[in-house]
Amino acid sequence: MKDYIAERARTLAAFILEQKTTVRAAAKKFNISKSTVHKDITERLSILDEKLAKQVHEVLAENKAERHIRGGLATREKYKKYKKEI
Query: What are the helix (H) ranges across the chain?
Result: 3-19, 23-30, 34-39, 45-48, 50-85
Contact at 8 Å (CB) between 22 and 61? no
Instruction: Decide: pTM greater than 0.75.
Output: yes
Give the total residue count for the chain.
86
Report how many domains make up the chain: 1
pLDDT tens for each residue of 11-27: 999 999 999 999 999 99
- With bands split at pLDDT 50, 70 and 90, how would you rate the model's confidence at 81? confident
Contact at 8 Å (CB) between 33 and 27? yes
pLDDT computed for residue 68 by the predictor? 80
Domain range holding 28? 3-85
Q: Residue 20 — left, alpha, or beta (φ > 0 → left; ψ -120 to 50 → alpha)?
A: left
pLDDT tens for each residue of 17-74: 999 999 999 999 999 999 999 999 999 999 999 999 999 999 999 988 887 887 787 8
